Amino acid sequence: MTKKTLAEQIANQLRRSVLRGELLPGMSVKERDIAADMGVSRTPIREAIRILSKEGLVELRPSRSPIVAVPDKNKVGDQTEVLIALEMLSVELACKNASESEIENIARITAFMSENFDTTDPLEMFEVDMSFHTAIAEASGNRALAETHGTFLRRLWRARYLSARQRRNRERVVNQHTSILDALSDRDSNAARAAVENHLLNLADDIRSVIAQESVYQDNEGNQT
């Protein structure tokens, strides 16, 4: 695994702050304050913010501090429907193209979730969950598909986390991931697509709901952003 750059490490910390609600939608992301808190120069902070901007978590503003992006529930819902289609195509292709080592890796992720769901921090478990879906996309054997899936997954990272946190349920998560793994192991594309469809059945509606319920931070200039 390639070692993460300082900017990538900072981006990961900021991403987690957004997911945990420490940085709210509309809140300013101040380079100077973050650099002072982390004891680093502003250059890697600026690079980290650019990373999060590409993911849709941060909105850049001319001559003003960036802010945590305020999601549009309809746009996010549309993106979720695209992601679901990508996930279903990914698992279908993975049934044909995945190597045994790739399936074994997906099985290890599933086993970890089953064994550690109740004792692992919810955010860390969510990251493990997303690694399961990423591993399937990468096992599709289609690089363009895997890259597109990764792009949409990053854009929806926060919305999907909010939805997962609201619907957190061990049996649902473990059983549904196991069903996907079993179909993938059997190379049964019809069963795999059905298992993914069942797993993601209400995702778009759930995400629209949590986004609609969310409050927006008033920035210090008195404008709702």
Where are any strands of DSSP class E within the chain?
58-61, 64-68
| Model pLDDT for residues 139-174, shown as the tens digit of each residue | 999 999 999 999 999 889 988 998 888 878 888 889
Q: Which of 135, 126, 142, 155 is nearest to 89 (CA)?
A: 142
CA gap 3, 17 in Å, rounded = 21
On the question of pLDDT at 38 being above 70, the answer is yes
Q: Token pair for residue 90?
A: 């990914």
On the question of pLDDT at 223 being above 70, the answer is no
Place of tokens 């957004």: 18
On the question of pLDDT at 224 being above 60, the answer is no
Residue of 95 and 55 predicted with greater confidence: 95
In this predicted structure, what is the pLDDT of residue 206? 87
| pTM, rounded to two decimals | 0.84
State phi, psi for 58 to the nearest 5 degrees. Answer: -125, 140
Query: For the ranges 85-89, 141-145, 161-165, 220-224, which has the lowest average pLDDT?
Result: 220-224
| Rounded average pLDDT over 216-224 | 50
Which H or E run includes 102?
helix 100-116
Return the number of other C-beta atoms located less than 10 Å from residue 217's C-beta.
16
On the question of pLDDT at 22 being above 60, the answer is yes
DSSP 143-198: HHHHHHHHHHHHHTHHHHHHHHHHT--HHHHHHHHHHHHHHHHTT-HHHHHHHHHH
| Model pLDDT for residues 106-144, shown as the tens digit of each residue | 999 999 999 999 999 999 999 999 999 999 999 999 999
Residue of 88 and 167 predicted with greater confidence: 88
